[in-house]
Amino acid sequence: MAVAARPVSQTGTERGRALHRFSFGLPGTPPRRRELEDHKLPIGRTEWETNGIRYTQIVLLTRLDPGELMSGGELPEDAVLLVQVLGENTASEYTEATAEFSVQSGGGGPELELRESSVIAVGTGEVSPLAMIEVPATGIAGTRGPALQFRGAMPPGTSGSMTLKIPMNPLSGDAALNRLRELEFDEEFRRVKRFWTDQLKAAPLAGLPIAFAPEDATPPSRGPPATR
């Protein structure tokens, strides 16, 4: 399962990173459920079950600034893609949950290195992290390569999670890096849901910053394709 994300544009000129496609190593089989939050808000939720593990991916767009989420219907320059991957063992025996993080841009992707919680594109000259990852240290299976690997043995009935914070444009300065590090998924989930609920009350939404591609969506869904 992957998410495609395009950077913020200003004055008709694309800034920051080119179109990236982020992969999280989730099952390639059709999901058992895929829908937007409340069937209309731009928070994507996809669920699979395989090898005794129920995987749930939740995707939303927020920003570093704690103020207005979006102004004039445009994504801000400090937009951040938040992805949470939940794994729950629904089997009656131990089983292993797996995930990964890789990036594709154009014809290929960079080699990645996990430095503490930051994902760096090796050999590109870019010092801003492609992402920050929150995952237990015991779940890290590989810290360098074309894809960073994560896995963990899970007893019956237990669950675990991994959170990825992906800035849509390169970050500049310690303040931005610290703010990215401090973002809490649950808090941002509530913030984004509250904002779009209020927007919907005020007027019909002409488009959303996150929507499933038509062939992927579980109706009802609306807006331009931005996630897959």
Among 45-49, 164-168, 193-197, 222-226, which is the least confidently predicted range?
Answer: 222-226
Q: Count of alpha carbons within 13 Å of 84, Cβ hemisphere only?
A: 17
- Which band of pLDDT confidence, cut at 50, 70 and 90, is reported for residue 224? very low
What domain count does the chain have? 1
- Which band of pLDDT confidence, cut at 50, 70 and 90, is reported for residue 72? low
In this predicted model, what pLDDT tens digit does every residue of 24-55 receive, in sequence order?
Answer: 999 989 999 999 999 889 999 999 999 999 99
* Domain annotation covers residue 114: yes
Among 40-49, 136-145, 206-215, which is the least confidently predicted range?
Answer: 206-215
Return contacts of 8-13, CB within 8 angstroms, 24+ apart. Answer: 8/74, 8/75, 8/76, 8/77, 8/79, 8/168, 8/169, 10/77
Q: Name which of 130, 143, 114, 112 is nearest 177 in CA terms.
A: 130
Q: What is the pLDDT of residue 18?
A: 53
Q: What is the pLDDT of residue 75?
A: 80
In this predicted model, what pLDDT tens digit does every residue of 4-23 receive, in sequence order?
Answer: 444 433 222 233 455 678 89
Domain encompassing residue 91: 1-122+153-168
Q: What is the pLDDT of residue 206?
A: 66
* Domain annotation covers residue 112: yes
- The bridge status of strand 33-37 relative to strand 41-50 is antiparallel
In this predicted model, what pLDDT tens digit does every residue of 81-139 receive, in sequence order?
Answer: 999 999 999 999 999 999 999 998 777 788 999 999 999 999 887 889 999 999 999 99
* Domain annotation covers residue 226: no
* Domain annotation covers residue 71: yes
End-to-end CA distance of the chain: 7
21 or 163, higher pLDDT: 163
Q: What is the pLDDT of residue 200?
A: 86
* Domain annotation covers residue 59: yes
* Domain annotation covers residue 196: no
In this predicted model, what pLDDT tens digit does every residue of 175-201 receive, in sequence order?
Answer: 999 999 999 999 999 999 999 999 888
Mean pLDDT of 54-71: 92
